[in-house]
Amino acid sequence: MRPPFVKICTVFVVCAFVSACAGSQSDYDSYPGSAPGDQRTGTKGRAATVADQKAGGSVFGDGGLNIFGGEDSKQQGTGSGIGVNSFLWRATLDTLSFMPLNSADPFGGVIITDWYTPGETPDERFKLTAYILGTALRSDAIKVSVFRQVNVGPNQWQDAVVEPGTVTSMEDAILTRARQLRIDSATAE
């Protein structure tokens, strides 16, 4: 003889399965991905889109089973599709455009340049890493790290001290460009 808990669980699973299979759609033509009349004409129906599949619903309602928060608890971003402030992102790319780009991660908000040697001083080179730390256009949402090396021999580079105002001036240039981009986008609308 089965314990009552097992019987209750079995009944629950069977009911859930039956209710998932049952629905108001009884005709093949009413399923997502098929167009009415396709069966009669013999033409092939269109492929189901994501919107069609979402419109089909789920056993647990329109939004499905939402155990871990899902879409309702997602942080609202800037609407740009990236995880950081879009004005700061664009401004950083614009400001650092004179340097060769090594990598750019729009979701993590990290831009890394490759070594750049200015034409005026061929015995030194610079590398920058820019971190965009938030979705707001604020001064504390950008952090720049500057690395400098000097040539001490043929193909030998040694780390050197970066002038104190260099980091601040780069961050200020990025913020100024970001504000300009925001103003330009507001006047364009």
The residue among 187, 166, 173 whose CA lies nearest residue 93 is 173
- When pLDDT is cut at 50, 70 and 90, the band that residue 25 belongs to is very low
- Angstrom distance (rounded) from CA 180 to CA 88: 10
User: Which tokens belong to 96?
Assistant: 């650092």
Q: What percent of the chain has pLDDT over 90?
A: 47
The residue among 86, 126, 121, 122 whose CA lies nearest residue 102 is 126
Question: By mean pLDDT, which of 4-13, 31-40, 82-91 is the weakest?
Answer: 31-40
The residue among 114, 118, 125 whose CA lies nearest residue 159 is 125
Question: H or E segment at 127?
Answer: strand 124-132
Which string of DSSP letters, residue by residue, matches 103-123?
A: EEETTTTEEEE--B--SS-TT
Please check whether residue 77 is in contact with residue 83, taking contact to mean a CB–CB distance below 8 angstroms.
yes
CA 161 to chain centre: 35
Task: Summarize the confidence of residues 28-42 as an average pLDDT.
Answer: 43
Return the higher-pLDDT residue of 83 and 177: 177
Give the pLDDT confidence of 54-98 residue by residue, as tens digits.
555 555 555 555 555 555 444 444 444 567 899 999 999 999 999
DSSP code at position 71: G
* Domains identified in the chain and CATH numbers: 4-73 (no CATH), 86-188 (3.30.530)
Return the higher-pLDDT residue of 184 and 73: 184
pLDDT at 102: 94
pLDDT at 10: 72
- When pLDDT is cut at 50, 70 and 90, the band that residue 150 belongs to is very high
